[in-house]
Amino acid sequence: MPSPHWRLIIEESPRSGAANMALDEAMAEAAADGAVPPSLRFYRWHLPTVSLGRHQKAADVDEAQLATRGYDLVRRTTGGRAILHTDELTYSVAGPVTDPLMAGGVMDAYLRFSNALLSGLEVLGLVANKAGARTRTPRDLSAVCFEAPSAYEITAGGLKLMGSAQSRRKGYVLQHGSLPLWGDITRLVDVLAVSPAEKERLRHQLPRLATTLAEALEVPHDSESLAFQRVAAAMAEGFASALEIDLQPGTISARELRRSAELIRTRFADPAWTRQR
């Protein structure tokens, strides 16, 4: 039986936070309509960007501190808590709910994609793990996504390495996630709207709970093994192997670009959308 055909997009140039979120949604909508095949995209961010979860309070971040540091702010359509996107590889999977690999509920697809992520990390030489199916995020955690893993999220040496989130609406499945390549995992703390004592607690605690690919592989931040294109190619290989799909390099369609531009204007670059909660 031939392997299902998926589109692979490895973006050469970083995009703004609004553009990245808009393009993920535009690709998912196009896939749901059958205009494009299911797609796997790897991308970066033009500026360090804090993304808020779909239902997270905008008041969780200190916008004055964001401005001081030159960080962007965007709201995801997926759930979860705040992430600072910088020095990382971000992935997204977009496809119709009718695709066999999207079948079942949120956690069914989440498990398949977690296995694909683990396979990609193995190509990079890292034996990682996924949190258990019964793992749940405690209610009393801070606004920081990387403070604790939830079910099937990726860990290395017992520390959270990758955070992911999934959305199902309008006939599509969209999952995206963050792989920190290097850098200070506590930088997000500087822009949280919490007390100085809470910031100090988080700065002390996060390095004990989360990690980067550089730390997990025990390589310096300028190692060739952390180059964006190399990591993206390895992760794509892992997806192709674990999911038994035929990943073919492709491009973003004119339809997706038009819809993305509309979503940037009407939603993701609109302060009212970002600060709606």
Tell me the three state secondary structure of residue 52: strand
pLDDT score of 136: 47
Rounded mean pLDDT of 220-241? Answer: 96
Distance CA 197, CA 7 (A): 47
Distance CA 116, CA 118 (A): 5
Distance CA 46, CA 72 (A): 9
Rounded mean pLDDT of 232-243? Answer: 98
The burial of 109, by beta-carbon neighbours within 10 Å (0-12 exposed, 13-18 middle, 19 or more buried), is given as: buried
The percent of residues above 70 in pLDDT, for the chain, comes to: 92
Kindly name the residue from 73, 116, 145, 188 that is annotated as catalytic.
Answer: 145
Q: Is 145 a catalytic residue?
A: yes
pLDDT score of 189: 95
pTM (predicted TM-score): 0.92
Domains parsed from the chain with CATH numbers:
5-272 (3.30.930.10)
- The predicted-structure confidence for 139-195, as pLDDT tens digits, reads as follows 544 555 455 556 678 999 999 999 899 999 889 999 999 999 999 999 999 999 999
Q: What is the mean pLDDT of the chain?
A: 91
- The predicted-structure confidence for 45-92, as pLDDT tens digits, reads as follows 999 999 999 899 999 999 999 999 999 999 999 988 899 999 999 999
pLDDT score of 170: 87
